[in-house]
Structure 1
């Protein structure tokens, strides 16, 4: 099981002189909008644990710290490193939201991209509302589509796998001008909701 650390504890280690290799596994758009100072982007959707591990900073026993929006995607990334036999990896609890709430240094970009979990809620909520209205006004068959949307949410909640989030993470508004450079560099990574 991967270790965990709070943003305050991580900053304490950094201030004590330890080398901190912090990986942000959110989408490029989320990262460009705001990220923890010193974090480098490796999207979960394209994560290659062996490649990232080989390029990490610090010594062989120094952990790799993983952060996302709130802790869910970073936990998945930590599991991928462990499944590959690589570690130690440490999940930053609470993610970028907790980092920012603690008043720790962040870098803000020009883009204002909604976090991936909010995008999923907007798409599914809109889909269910439209299908429900069409079911009531046009044809009851549309109500079954609304039920399918609800079933998809249940599936995502139970399995912690969200195909919609994976699809949305690849949409143009979640990419940045540096995304193509990332994919061709040695720091490519992956995505789902957090």
Structure 2
């Protein structure tokens, strides 16, 4: 069986009939913006024994864009134990459909986005200063680029580890516990 896709409106209607909505994004993503009825269960902590369906007739999974749910669809469907669906287009499509979300702009940006902003800024800084001040500054761009490659290959991102300890992220993590 293949997990079925639902439009945001169809998912909204199915929720009214008792379906359970599970948000599989990371905690920092969920804390900043979420669908009101969604239960949070990050993909890395999702197990068949912990899936909180509560006897629901169906489970609907979502992420930000729908990509993560599609990539993990066979596993999610196996864990559901009932009819399983994904919201086509995820949270982004839900918002475009004008359906309600809870936003907490006081929460920091998702860690992945912080890494992208910091790495991109350092690469641009290295390129600009390398072109205008000294070619040695191009090393900064090279080092950051190599760090990104290493993070992709190994799964360890030193920049993310540093950013987790920044005051805005420490305060956010403390309020989640």
TM-score, with structure 1 as normaliser = 0.64
The structure in which a higher percent of residues are helix is 2
Are positions 1:86 and 2:60 aligned together?
A: no
Across the aligned residues of Structure 1 and Structure 2, the Cα RMSD in angstroms comes to 3.4
Partner residue in 2 for 1:3: 4
Counterpart CA distance in 2 for 1:22 and 1:28 is: 16
In the TM superposition, 1:90-101 aligns within 5 A as 90-101=85-96
1:51 alignment partner in structure 2: 49
Residues 1:23 and 2:18 aligned together: no
SS in 1 for 2:102: strand
Unaligned runs of 5+ in 2: none
Query: Quick one: structure 1 residues 149 and 129, their matched pair in 2 at CA, closer, same or farther if it must change by over 3 Å?
Result: farther
Matched, 1:106 2:130: no
Are the structure 2 counterparts of residues 118 and 142 from structure 1 closer, same or farther at C-alpha, using a change threshold of 3 Å?
Answer: closer
Q: Displacement of 1:176 after TM fit?
A: 6.0
| Structure possessing the higher relative contact order (Cα contacts under 8 Å, 6 or more residues apart) | 1
Q: Greater CA radius of gyration, 1 or 2?
A: 2
The aligned runs of 1:138-177 (5 Å cut-off) are 139=136, 141-148=139-146, 164=157, 167=160, 171=164, 173=169, 175=173, 177=175
Map of 2:39 onto structure 1:
40
1:100–1:162 Cα change, 3 Å: farther
Task: Assess if the C-alpha contact under 8 Å between 1:5 and 1:90 holds in 2.
Answer: yes
CA distance in 1, matches of 2:173, 2:71: 21
Secondary structure at 2:85 match in 1: strand
Whether contact under 8 Å (1:19, 1:58) holds in the other structure is no
